Amino acid sequence: MDVGRIRKDFPLYDKDPEGLVYLDSACQSLRPRQVIEAMDQYYTSYPACGGRSVHRLATQVSLKVDEARETIARFIGAESELEVVFTKSCTEALNTVAFGLNLERGDVVVTTDAEHNSNHVPWMELAETKGIIRRFCRSTKDGLFDMEAFNNTMDRKVKVVSMVHTNNVNGVTIPVREISELAHDHGALMVVDGAQSAPHMHLDMERMGIDLFGMSIHKMLGPSGMGVLYGRAEHLKMLRPLMSGGGSVLETSYDHATYLPPPEKFEAGLLNYAGIIGAGAAVEYLRGVGMDEVQEHGHRLNRIMTGGLRHLEEVRLLDPIDPDKRGSICSFNVKGLTSHDVAMFLDEIGQVMIRSGSHCSHPYLTSIGLDGCARASTYIYNDEMDAKRFVDCVERMVKVFAS
């Protein structure tokens, strides 16, 4: 991967090409100028409302939205662009699923023990309000997915298996295809939180056996306030929308509404047209780089970071230790320092920017005896010098502050 060429597309590096080391892409990625320009073009050249008016500007907006939907459908291996719903976030996508499935008292939902709150709290609320039953598939001691433990959670009472594809704390990716096969054997739906996987790997919804899938565009070079819900056509048809109103209905009377078919029935209100167009541009950019290249690049940089930290006695890497099992994520703690201390020191020492805290995964961190961790996460604009500078700054911090 030609990182030097790629970095030229990101305006942040124009100001200080050597000074900044941005290692917080698992929270939010940077955006290339191709995405920014696509969004600016909407505001300057056809700043109208799509799907309602019939004049030329509105028609151009509608065509651009259709193009973005088709681009994303190809990117994730959907059978049709009509299986792609635009949301404001992966969180909204997962909430749409949880509250739209019409689950009943006694229905069982299986998740991992390491879910982001976006795939934990909605199910917890349904347990409190509707009486559904939660079951947790416990990770192995080294943080990996345990297929035997998952098998033991399954029976015909399970209606939904909803799991994070790539974990945002330890970077572990679960074997979705094998999990979905077992879920379907028991008559359960396979729901996947793809916020961390979609930016870093090749996806194929059909081959992987995924029924419903949420993704965050802001983690994959796209604008903030944009997400996607993928759903197989038969499931979107049955799913109840989280919101309703203008743009989602065909016609109404004083006592009845006829909904439009998916995806429109889930897209009530004025859409974020600039965000949708930017999402399409972001996906096109990633397609140009190549997702296999993206994935291997993340592993390559993680090997450098892990290799540099694992010999430091004051540093504890979160399991699994093998960087090839953690994708682009390197989470750790430093003896005697809070994770926030670590993040602030790295920023001050070398302009190295990482994430700290609980990462919206409180139950999992508590289960392994932690109240938080520092997390460095790479993406396509990071190079080996970034990884080495990160290690160097951690070493300097340990020498001065750790005890």
Position 17 scores a pLDDT of 65
Position 119 scores a pLDDT of 98
pLDDT reading at 403 higher than 80: no
105-121 tens-digit pLDDT: 999 999 999 999 999 99
pLDDT reading at 301 higher than 90: yes
Q: What percent of the chain has pLDDT over 90?
A: 96
pLDDT reading at 16 higher than 80: no
Neighbours of 271 (CB within 10 A): 17
**Does residue 360 carry a catalytic annotation?**
yes
Q: What's the pTM value of the predicted model, to 2 decimals? A: 0.95
In order of 239, 283, 287, 295, the CA distances from 291 in angstroms are: 31, 10, 7, 6
Position 254 scores a pLDDT of 95
Backbone angles phi, psi at 371, to 5 degrees: -105, 5
Task: Please compute the mean of the pLDDT values over residues 260-266 and round it to a whole number.
Answer: 96
In a 13 Å sphere around the CA of 306, the CA atoms on its Cβ side amount to 25
356-365 tens-digit pLDDT: 999 999 999 9
149-182 tens-digit pLDDT: 999 999 999 999 999 999 999 999 999 999 999 9
Position 402 scores a pLDDT of 67
Instruction: Point out the catalytic residue in the list 27, 137, 360, 373.
Output: 360
309-318 tens-digit pLDDT: 999 999 999 9
So what's the architecture of 35-288 in CATH?
3-Layer(aba) Sandwich (3.40)
Q: Give alpha helix (H) positions in 120-216.
A: 121-129, 147-153, 176-185, 205-208
Position 19 scores a pLDDT of 81
Task: Please compute the mean of the pLDDT values over residues 34-44 and round it to a whole number.
Answer: 98
Write down the mean pLDDT value for the chain: 96
pLDDT reading at 96 higher than 80: yes
Cβ pair 379, 371 in contact under 8 A: no
pLDDT band, very low/low/confident/very high, at 248 (cuts 50, 70, 90):
very high
Task: Please compute the mean of the pLDDT values over residues 240-266 and round it to a whole number.
Answer: 94
Task: Please compute the mean of the pLDDT values over residues 85-98 and round it to a whole number.
Answer: 98
- CA 260 vs. chain centroid, Å, equals 28
Residues 6+ apart with CB under 8 A from 67: 280
Per-residue HEC secondary structure of 294-352 comes to HHHHHHHHHHHHHHHHCCCCCEEECCCCCHHHCCCEEEEEECCCCHHHHHHHHHHHHCE
Task: Please compute the mean of the pLDDT values over residues 394-400 and round it to a whole number.
Answer: 93
pLDDT reading at 256 higher than 80: yes
| Nearest in space to 365 (alpha carbons), one of 390, 337, 334, 332 | 332
Domain boundaries, the chain: 3-28+290-401, 35-288
CATH topology of domain 3-28+290-401: Aspartate Aminotransferase, domain 1 (3.90.1150)
Task: Please compute the mean of the pLDDT values over residues 304-308 and round it to a whole number.
Answer: 97
β-strand partners of 388: none
pLDDT reading at 1 higher than 90: no
pLDDT band, very low/low/confident/very high, at 9 (cuts 50, 70, 90):
very high
pLDDT band, very low/low/confident/very high, at 79 (cuts 50, 70, 90):
very high
